[in-house]
Structure 1
Amino acid sequence: MSSPVRLSALQALLGGLLALVLTLLPLGPLRPGLQAMPLRQGSPERPLPESSEALANRSPFSQSAYYPLALQPDRQLYRPHADWLGQLILPSVEEKALRRGDWVWLDLEQAPPGQEALIGQRLGLTWADQPRLQAMVEAVSTDVRLGQAARDAAAAANVVPTRLDGRLAVGPLQSLAGARPQDSVNVRLEGVSLEGDTLRISKPPLQTTGRWLGLVTVLGRDSSSGDPHRWRVRHYDRSDADFSGVEESIRIPKLPPDRFGRVMLDPSGLVASELNPEGWLISGAPGPDGVFTVQALQPRALLSLKPTRVVRGTAAGLREIDRENWAKAALRRGTLTSTAITSKPKELPLAQPGQRALLIHLFGGIGGRDGEPSPAWTTTGHLALGEAEVVLDPFSGEPQLDLRYHQIYANNPNGIVSGSQDWSAYAGNLQRGWLGTRPFSDVLVPLDGPLLDALALQAEIISARYRTGDGHGVALVTPATSCVQDSSQALWIALDQLRAEQRLAGIAPDPDSRLSRLGRGLEELLTPFGMVRPDWRHNAQVTAMAGTGLRQDSPGGPAQPAFMANQGPVAVLLSLRSMLPRRAHDGLASVFLRQGLPLWILRTNQIPGNNPALEPVAPTTVLGHLPVVGTLVPRLMDGLVPPLLGAPLGFSVLVLLLYGALALGIGFASGFLNGAWRWGGQGGAGWPGLLRRAAALLVLPALVEELIFRGLLLPHPLEGVPGPAMAAWGALSVGLFVAYHPLAARLWYPQGRAVSDDPRFLLQCTLLGSACVLVYGLTGSLWSAVGLHWLAVVVWLEALGGQQRLEPNSLD
């Protein structure tokens, strides 16, 4: 998923810096706070050579054949998981040739009322005959030939689509069905129409787990069964609105450990869990003995529309996102919190069935004795976008949340397949779900349907590209290609195309509309320097062209343009704000909150939390596990990459003019400045000498001092620090900046002592420091402060006699 990039001097420099960072990454501790331990096969330090997917498939509970379709549970206790549900089957090469287009087989396992006779049949599954949808499908269809990178990934125990190797025109359905070595991808279907023996869908399939749903509380082991996987549960009783229903013995398997020696979810902690009284939503099917067998579970408390905490106000909400959400107190193993952030009294972000919300997902690391390494004191985590909807619980009839994730996921040992997944497929799956091993943060943002629909489509396009590796069969994580980069790309393209559709419809953009305000906030976050990655813009054009339904590869016409995924240093530079999942998660949530939208944060920590060898670890930015440094590095990066043109340039010029009027007026009135303006002669060597000295002054004092007194000391505007606190930090910055000059004159710069002791000079320093604080606060750009500082010093030294007050060849 790359294209060649010609290196300029700037790109070479950035590439060198990136190489240095990547070289240093392995130097951090294996697991912070733990001593080295003896190595054992099947441990985090010595993983087994097989994929976790292959290891899990040795268990009968991971085999689809273990769940006979003819056996059904008690309909009084269980509900169908979905109206249309089944397992995807990749057609053979010969079968594929019998039908045109992107299609697969579907072994149907659930059907809506009136269509039950279809259950158990193998039907064709393809896309609805909609020009835009067909064009989108065709845009991502590609020939697949596994290259050396795919073979290397497989040798490293990652699951790669070996069954797709050599196939031509592989579309999204085929890449989904063939993503694993065997047919094991189960899906829910939406927007379904039946035409003969073929199902047509108008929406991408949603990966899921289990044919049936139940709502239970766990009572304890069923010791009388002799089966270590059997548990006694009591079902929810709707008439009493509690768990006083039927008691039953079901199977909740403990699956084999993965290649790192970890069990994804240990059911032995369910009884003692503080979440057990509120129950568990279980999904699965009867085994060959008729005993209902759980394949995935979800804590019911997570779905509740009654938050455990309510935070009022934007400032408090920003603190919640930046600090409290991942504070040490919020990382207790086995816990769940639900935090609503809103500015309106007695109003919650989500309440009514049908309401939809953007989901911003982030998971953290695995710590403890059996944890994973945190190279270079950094836990990257993983980011995904998705959607939440308020639906009616089929058991209680109460409104609750339904969560789905648009997983743009690289090839991995667990067999997690890139694409849209519900909770049971991604988080709560007993085989490959992260609920029991990682901390989660899901931020829900109520939004209108068009943006969510556009995002879902763009995420599916990128997910389909990941499943085929743009034809190479593997998608690997790089600084420029990753879950966070490409989720951000999907969001940016969705916004860009919504605005384009408005322009085509003749709708004049309203700068005060929610879409416009969100667009500006997201542009600021996702496009450093105000520049969009060229491959993002190119891919937006490709999808827009496909969306028209007009192909360009007709006979005699130009070829359909291909998608791009640049890997060069420029792409890395333009991705700094969206490179690490924690930065993107917090940044996106803060943008929406500052635009007046309420938020809902769902946090879980390794549920059920009974494994003392595991501890939840917060995701971080670069060097985030190092005190102070973990805060300063992202702060500095934020200050160096904001837009330079447009509003930031206007603010910079305005502050410069205001500062210049005050500084010159006060300077001449006090007598500190005197004489006529004179350029180019005071330092000798005419204008060439002036330019050399000005270049040196740009580095020191302008850049160095601004990095220290603004970049490192001041919270960046994106951190969301309240106004009074920012004013206090600004006053401290100015005070230290002023005090620094006489201190420097006494310690290492004696030629400036006479000037630095002059109260009129210190007043000028106060004006300059205040102006730099102001322009940094308005623009978020250190370069604006550096430019103002540099111009002030150059004018004073070179045009207004400042050099004469210092010893020859001095720079300050």
Structure 2
Amino acid sequence: MMHTFRQVRYIAPGGLVLLPLVLLPQMLPPLALLRGNVGHETERIFLDLLLMGLGALIVAALLSPLETLGWWAGWYGDQVDPHRTPCTAEEPLPSTQARRYIVYLDGIGQFKSTYAPEAEQFLSALGQSLPDMVVVRGITPYSVLNKPLIEDRPMSAFWRLVTWLRSKRFFKVLGMLINIRNLLVVLVSADTRYGPVYNRGMAQVIYNGLINEGYRPGSRVPITLLGFSGGGEIAMGAAPLLQQSLDAPLDIISLAGVFCGHNKILNLNHIYHLVGDKDPVERTGPVLFPKRWKVMFLSYWNRAKKRGLVTFISLGPVGHQTPGGVFDPNLRLPDGRTHLQQTVDWVTDILQEKLPLEQPSTAPRPSSYSLAQQGDFNQPEAYPLGAVVDAAYYRPIAPWMGRLILPTLDQRQPQDGVWFEVHHATADYSHLVSQRVWLSWQDTPWVRQYLSTVTRDLHFSADANYSRHQGKVVPERLNGWRQVGPLESLAGARPTDNMVVMLNGPVQIDSLPNGVVQVLIDQDPAQISGRFYAIAQFIAPSQTTADGMLYRIRHFNRSTRQFDGLEEVVWLPQVVPNINGLRPSSNQNLERSPCNPDGWYLYGAPDRRGRFVVQALAPRALFTLIPDQEIVGKTATHRYLKQVSWTVKGVKGTISSVLLRASEKASSSFHLGDRLLLNHVYGGVGGKMTEPAARGPIYFGHFAYGLAEVVQEPLTDDLRLEMQYFQVYTQNGDGLIACRHHWSNYMGDRQFGWLNLRPVRDAVIKLDAFTNRYDIDGDVVCPLELLLHQLQIMMARYRTGDGSGITYVGPANNCAQDSNQALYAALQQINRATTTLSDSVSWLQTHPDQAGQVKQLQQIGLSLKRDLLPWGTARADWQNHEAVLGSSLEDDPVKQLATALVSWRTVLPRIASDAVIISFLQRGATVLVLRTTQVGGTIPEIEPIAPVGL
């Protein structure tokens, strides 16, 4: 069927070739009559030439797709495989180490490989202004063979005659034939039938031009297509294919561009459209091409505009082409610059990231986050650096901690990095405390892949600006930045530099050429609350004021293993009410909490008055690895998960810990150093102060994965769980960022955490086959780490909205769907690797201890695929790892719902969580289910709501 379809398309041009032969005999009698009535010989010659031109025009119009289809069919010796990657090339030339490549695509007046004098002057000025960038010339955008009209073509003699005649004043009008011919090619590019073939050919031409100028595929050096007039359409058509082939950041600068609007441009970094107020040619585009009409709001062009991918720039009283056009070197603007100089300035500013973006003129609505900033205790500056605490009762949360500070544009480095105000460091580097160092990335294969995948130009969409006005916290400081990396998106996620984090994994110390100390990491930092923690019981309030309480506490004594240690007073500031008027945590009756007998982890830091401020709380018993109950058996564990684990009636203020094993063979113990998969779901806030999201008939909840590790607690010498959440979370009014969160911040923070507000179920999953490392041909692979890597990518993409500033959430894309897409991607990688291993006799003989685990891992992959994808097939975006996070329902409601149905079990957080936990249990996992239900001080106005399940 496919071959028949292609044959029909190729036959069509053949019919077009015959059409002029049919029409011209019918036209000869009236044309001869007209010529006979002309008396003057000069006029007859002119009419003859005019008729010849019209005939040539007709033939050119009818045959305009022929060169394209001939290239596709291989008539010109360049065979094309329609199933291969759009662009292929031989070994690239050495890179010129350019900061950016600029490909110029000229307007429809081009007839040779060089350009008109004013265009040459523009490119020369651009090259002088951008010495660290390469301008790629010599592209003929109106030929898939990259052949100018006057060179090596069947009709090149005719076009040479036209170019010679156009230099004569009397025949100057014949030069319009060149414009008309190239305009016809623009229409071919815009045509839904022939356009895909033509645009593919032009992508190959541009690709080859880049390679010839030293571009190295895979280098991730940014590329800009600079299209003038009809070159704008050629750029729009070729850009998506070119970006796919080169896997590099790519944007378009349209200079008075005329284009159709149906090209798939949503994955491009950005489009800048520069046009003069007196340009009549550019204005034909929005009229002639229906996909640019406002009523066609689902077209790629209008969706790109809505997402903020398009920036419109007015050039003032400027026309289209010289004289008076964008390249006119003589006419001057009111500010004294020529038209040409203004165009050079605009393009240079864009390419050097100096383009001033308009900022919203009105302040956003208040949000829970903005209200919380009114509390002095929520500011990092409230806690002086270098404060000393008693090491017998307080310990740092992590070896490296500090505050992320977004650099200014002129401070940015080629590789993603931010300033790091050191709050705590290891003993060897304690002298760095209170200093600013540069935080960046180690050079590892994973880091390179990570940065190349998530680095994006960031330009706010209309939805991002609207969300900001509605009170959501969006990365407004990054708006307009090019090539924003994951550290920058983390530091700039909020309006101010208040992101306090701990560093994960190995830390390397280096220095920049200017002598600045550089700290290098290979994992995302995790947000924390406080710098130190203690283990203590609350005794009673010692003083109550309008802004908080002084509370007497008694520390844990490691010698007696009782709470008979040092007594002191700590400060619990009164938290600020959220946008719904509800305080996220309470100081009331903490000493009466059911959790108080086993003590609390108190996270915080000394303030300016020397008082230890309790910024976060955690019930100690929750992390001790000593369950309240153990349930064994497939039926019993399933019943607990589906029916009992979300019982919320009568359990407010309590915690529970239940160990699940589907069979007696599963291990019931945890060991120091164990790394475990964390599966998290939270419920809603009900009662007299029900949150808005829970006022409907059902409450969906929220889903996330995370990492739990078994560590030795230095204050007690006991084993305990240390937990971090990998939150795939859309922009919101609470200021909760899509990133790694330490338990102290995401759950325990008294202003921003959920411990005192929501019912939460955390399932800690232990399965050696999933957490072990496998040596595959010298590469050490761990399924858990692969999942965490995929989650890091997803979180970074959520923070920037893939460059739009906002992430869309709907049935097909949400916390549960996208978190499980990361799991699916990790399982696919493991499946490919383990399939090879299981068939390798030598590997099985060398690693007999892991042979059973490999088979077990394969079974888990099949089980999870079956449970998460009940229709037996993966969603297209899960298979292809599409770069776009999804879209709102208005973009394509039917497709959104259909996509969601393919993975419907991951639409609802509770159902997705149950499916994953049961899959692991059935393959021998041990699961520790930790529940907290509005734990902390007394808040009588709220009640817990369980997320909806089946």
| TM-score of Structure 1 vs Structure 2, range by shorter chain | 0.5 to 0.7
Residues 661-710 of structure 1: per-residue CA shift (max 9 Å, x gap): xxxxxxxxxxxxxxxxxxxxxxxxxxxxxxxxxxxxxxxxxxxxxxxxxx
Aligned to 2:675: 356
**Cα drift, residue 92 of structure 1:** 0.6
Moved more, 404-413 or 66-75: 66-75
Question: Structure 2 vs 1, CA of residues 224 and 362 (structure 1 numbering), >3 Å: closer, same or farther?
Answer: closer
| Alignment match of 1:497 (pick from 810, 824, 829) | 829
Aligned to 1:148: 462
| Alignment match of 1:432 (pick from 752, 763, 780) | 752
Alignment of 1:253-264 (within 5 A): 253-264=573-584
Structure 2 unaligned regions, length at least 5 = 1-263, 268-363, 512-516, 773-781, 841-850
**Cα drift, residue 254 of structure 1:** 2.1
Contact 1:49 1:259 in 2 (8 A): no
Aligned to 2:856: 514
Residues in 1 aligned to 2:470 and 2:872: alpha-carbon distance in whole angstroms? 39
Pairing 1:53–2:381 present: no
Residues in 2 aligned to 1:257 and 1:198: alpha-carbon distance in whole angstroms? 40
Residues in 2 aligned to 1:227 and 1:411: alpha-carbon distance in whole angstroms? 30
Identity of aligned residues (%): 35
**Cα drift, residue 345 of structure 1:** 5.5
| Alignment match of 1:292 (pick from 612, 616, 632) | 612
Contact 2:838 2:854 in 1 (8 A): no
The aligned amino acid for 2:404 is L
Aligned to 2:417: 103
Aligned to 1:181: 495
Pairing 1:208–2:525 present: no
Residues 624-681 of structure 1: per-residue CA shift (max 9 Å, x gap): xxxxxxx4xxxxxxxxxxxxxxxxxxxxxxxxxxxxxxxxxxxxxxxxxxxxxxxxxx
Contact 2:404 2:491 in 1 (8 A): yes
Residues in 1 aligned to 2:705 and 2:619: alpha-carbon distance in whole angstroms? 21
Alignment of 1:736-775 (within 5 A): none
Contact 1:335 1:609 in 2 (8 A): no
Residues in 2 aligned to 1:131 and 1:175: alpha-carbon distance in whole angstroms? 21
Please give the TM-score of this superposition, normalised by the length of structure 2.
0.57
Residues in 2 aligned to 1:310 and 1:2: alpha-carbon distance in whole angstroms? 55
Q: Secondary structure at the match of 1:410?
A: coil
**Cα drift, residue 565 of structure 1:** 3.3
Contact 1:124 1:199 in 2 (8 A): yes
Aligned to 2:349: none
Pairing 1:74–2:74 present: no
Moved more, 525-534 or 226-235: 226-235
Residues in 2 aligned to 1:445 and 1:324: alpha-carbon distance in whole angstroms? 18
Alignment of 1:482-561 (within 5 A): 482-502=814-834, 508=840, 513-539=855-881
**Cα drift, residue 387 of structure 1:** 1.4
Pairing 1:339–2:627 present: no
Residues in 2 aligned to 1:286 and 1:62: alpha-carbon distance in whole angstroms? 13
Pairing 1:85–2:401 present: yes
Alignment of 1:695-714 (within 5 A): none
Contact 2:787 2:822 in 1 (8 A): yes
Q: Secondary structure at the match of 2:645?
A: helix
Aligned to 1:19: none
Residues in 1 aligned to 2:497 and 2:833: alpha-carbon distance in whole angstroms? 39
| Alignment match of 1:459 (pick from 769, 791, 815) | 791
Contact 1:78 1:213 in 2 (8 A): yes
Question: Structure 2 vs 1, CA of residues 182 and 241 (structure 1 numbering), >3 Å: closer, same or farther?
Answer: same
Residues in 2 aligned to 1:129 and 1:255: alpha-carbon distance in whole angstroms? 42
**Cα drift, residue 537 of structure 1:** 1.2
| Alignment match of 1:252 (pick from 555, 569, 572) | 572
| Alignment match of 1:192 (pick from 499, 504, 507) | 507
| Alignment match of 2:560 (pick from 212, 235, 240) | 240
The aligned amino acid for 1:282 is L
**Cα drift, residue 349 of structure 1:** 3.8
| Alignment match of 1:478 (pick from 791, 796, 810) | 810
Contact 1:349 1:600 in 2 (8 A): no
Question: Structure 2 vs 1, CA of residues 61 and 350 (structure 1 numbering), >3 Å: closer, same or farther?
Answer: farther
Question: Structure 2 vs 1, CA of residues 606 and 225 (structure 1 numbering), >3 Å: closer, same or farther?
Answer: closer
**Cα drift, residue 343 of structure 1:** 4.7
The aligned amino acid for 2:435 is Q
Q: Secondary structure at the match of 1:223?
A: strand
**Cα drift, residue 501 of structure 1:** 3.3
Question: Structure 2 vs 1, CA of residues 3 and 142 (structure 1 numbering), >3 Å: closer, same or farther?
Answer: closer
Aligned to 2:717: 397
Residues in 2 aligned to 1:226 and 1:524: alpha-carbon distance in whole angstroms? 56
Residues in 2 aligned to 1:383 and 1:70: alpha-carbon distance in whole angstroms? 38
CA RMSD of aligned residues (A): 2.2
| Alignment match of 1:367 (pick from 676, 686, 702) | 686
Residues 738-762 of structure 1: per-residue CA shift (max 9 Å, x gap): xxxxxxxxxxxxxxxxxxxxxxxxx
Residues in 2 aligned to 1:320 and 1:388: alpha-carbon distance in whole angstroms? 22
The aligned amino acid for 2:531 is R
Residues 720-774 of structure 1: per-residue CA shift (max 9 Å, x gap): xxxxxxxxxxxxxxxxxxxxxxxxxxxxxxxxxxxxxxxxxxxxxxxxxxxxxxx
Moved more, 130-139 or 217-226: 217-226
Aligned to 1:123: 437
**Cα drift, residue 328 of structure 1:** 4.5
Residues in 2 aligned to 1:109 and 1:426: alpha-carbon distance in whole angstroms? 20
Contact 1:186 1:209 in 2 (8 A): yes
Contact 1:72 1:285 in 2 (8 A): no
Question: Structure 2 vs 1, CA of residues 616 and 88 (structure 1 numbering), >3 Å: closer, same or farther?
Answer: same
Contact 2:756 2:934 in 1 (8 A): yes
Question: Structure 2 vs 1, CA of residues 293 and 146 (structure 1 numbering), >3 Å: closer, same or farther?
Answer: same
**Cα drift, residue 351 of structure 1:** 2.1
The aligned amino acid for 1:170 is V
Please give the TM-score of this superposition, normalised by the length of structure 1.
0.66
Residues in 2 aligned to 1:381 and 1:243: alpha-carbon distance in whole angstroms? 37
**Cα drift, residue 503 of structure 1:** 5.0
Contact 2:634 2:663 in 1 (8 A): no
Pairing 1:165–2:165 present: no
Residues in 2 aligned to 1:511 and 1:423: alpha-carbon distance in whole angstroms? 31
Question: Structure 2 vs 1, CA of residues 475 and 244 (structure 1 numbering), >3 Å: closer, same or farther?
Answer: same
Aligned residues: 555
Contact 1:511 1:517 in 2 (8 A): no
**Cα drift, residue 429 of structure 1:** 0.9
**Cα drift, residue 564 of structure 1:** 5.4
Structure 1 unaligned regions, length at least 5 = 5-47, 543-561, 622-630, 632-812
Residues in 2 aligned to 1:298 and 1:516: alpha-carbon distance in whole angstroms? 37
Residues in 1 aligned to 2:490 and 2:570: alpha-carbon distance in whole angstroms? 31
Residues in 2 aligned to 1:484 and 1:205: alpha-carbon distance in whole angstroms? 22
Contact 2:648 2:945 in 1 (8 A): no
Question: Structure 2 vs 1, CA of residues 506 and 602 (structure 1 numbering), >3 Å: closer, same or farther?
Answer: closer
Aligned to 2:296: none
Contact 1:510 1:516 in 2 (8 A): no
Residues 260-307 of structure 1: per-residue CA shift (max 9 Å, x gap): 111111121311101001111111110000001011111101101111
Pairing 1:571–2:899 present: yes
Pairing 1:607–2:935 present: yes
